[in-house]
Amino acid sequence: MDLAFAQHFTEEWAAAWNSHDLERVLAHYTEDVVFASPRILQLLGDPSGEARGKDALRAYWSKALRLLPDLHFTVEDVRASVDTLVINYRNERGQAVAEVLTFRAALVCRGFGAYGPEV
């Protein structure tokens, strides 16, 4: 992965989230994606903190979008590695968040969200 791909992906990823179009967001992920976040535990009560598969991710993010009608991401930084990128952004509450996304065939197959303190 090069930085140009990472930046282009991040622009489309943020635009998809900010449009609140869940299917547009999910188009970036493989069918067998695994995504981990402390928000999964909070919203779905799943102690693993993981959504396994696109259908599970759809259920999680669908609920999140219903609960957060003002959701908005402002990207601050993007970094590229071998098959992974890191997106640092602020959410609608000004909270710092990092998404670490690993790719297979130009789609995200694994990811996790990490959150800074509430503002």
Give pLDDT, residue 43. 85
85-95 mean pLDDT: 96
Q: What is the spatial distance between Cα 71 and Cα 39, in angstroms, rounded to a whole number? A: 14
Give pLDDT, residue 113. 95
Confidence class for position 118, pLDDT limits 50, 70, 90: confident
- Is the pLDDT at 45 greater than 90? The verdict is no
- Is the pLDDT at 8 greater than 90? The verdict is yes
Structure tokens of 46? Answer: 């799943």
Q: What is the spatial distance between Cα 38 and Cα 41, in angstroms, rounded to a whole number? A: 5
Residue-wise pLDDT for 53-66, tens only, equals 999 999 999 999 99
16-44 mean pLDDT: 95
Which position has the token pair 């590695």? Answer: 81
Confidence class for position 119, pLDDT limits 50, 70, 90: confident
Give pLDDT, residue 83. 97
Q: What is the spatial distance between Cα 11 and Cα 78, in angstroms, rounded to a whole number? A: 10
74-93 mean pLDDT: 97
- Is the pLDDT at 27 greater than 90? The verdict is yes
